[in-house]
Amino acid sequence: MKRPGLIVVAVVALILVILGSTLAGTYNSLVRLDEGVAGQWAQVENAYQRRADLVPNLVATVQGAAAHERETLTAVTEARAKVGRIEMPAAYEDQAALERYQAAQDELSSALSRLLVVSEAYPQLRANENFLALQSQLEGTENRIAVERKRFNDAAQAFNTKRGSFPTVMFVGMFDDRFDPKAYFQAQSGAARAPTVSF
């Protein structure tokens, strides 16, 4: 008589152990992926900070050779200041916040591009070793930014895929809002359109 009751208790205990193990494994997996996203976000911010740190030296160098290009220099300085004012704790948690962050960074990229175009008109600037070194560092930093953004998107995709997969999707509601879906960097508007070239 005691044997069937013992079997039922053992089966229930086994089911509870399996559910507990699955829940713990799911939680730990989400934590690991969430930390991966946070770590990759730090790398994105690091690359953008490197670029922001180059701007004052670049502006000072151009200013010395092309002082009457006030409008361009002011645009670069203002764009950098705007980027510095944006507070983005965990921007990747909210697509709208990430888009604001990206828009400010894109504005700085555009201003820097205009600055480099202006520099073409000044041969003494093109011969300045300091300017050439800064320009090279800026180009390298832009490449790093692109790489880090891609790695961030990959980390966010891995997290979002795990979060939306079975059985994780069943458990994710039990956890705190720490495991909300992560936002992605998007291409600039119009990036899919080929530029018009005329000769």
Residue 117 within any structural domain of the chain: yes
Residue 190 within any structural domain of the chain: no
C-alpha count within 13 angstroms, C-beta hemisphere, residue 88:
28
Is the distance from CB of 90 to CB of 41 less than 8 angstroms?
yes
Give the domain extent around 165.
4-174
Give me the pLDDT at residue 37, please.
94
Residue 44 within any structural domain of the chain: yes
What pLDDT digit, counting tens, does each position of 168-180 carry? 888 888 876 778 8
Highest mean pLDDT pick, 30-44, 125-139, 180-194 = 30-44
Give me the pLDDT at residue 46, please.
93
Residue 187 within any structural domain of the chain: no
pLDDT band of 32, cuts 50, 70, 90: very high
Is the distance from CB of 157 to CB of 184 less than 8 angstroms?
yes
Average of per-residue pLDDT across 124-140: 86
pLDDT band of 189, cuts 50, 70, 90: low
Residue 167 within any structural domain of the chain: yes
Residue 182 within any structural domain of the chain: no
Q: What is the CATH number of the domain that holds 47?
A: 1.20.1440.20
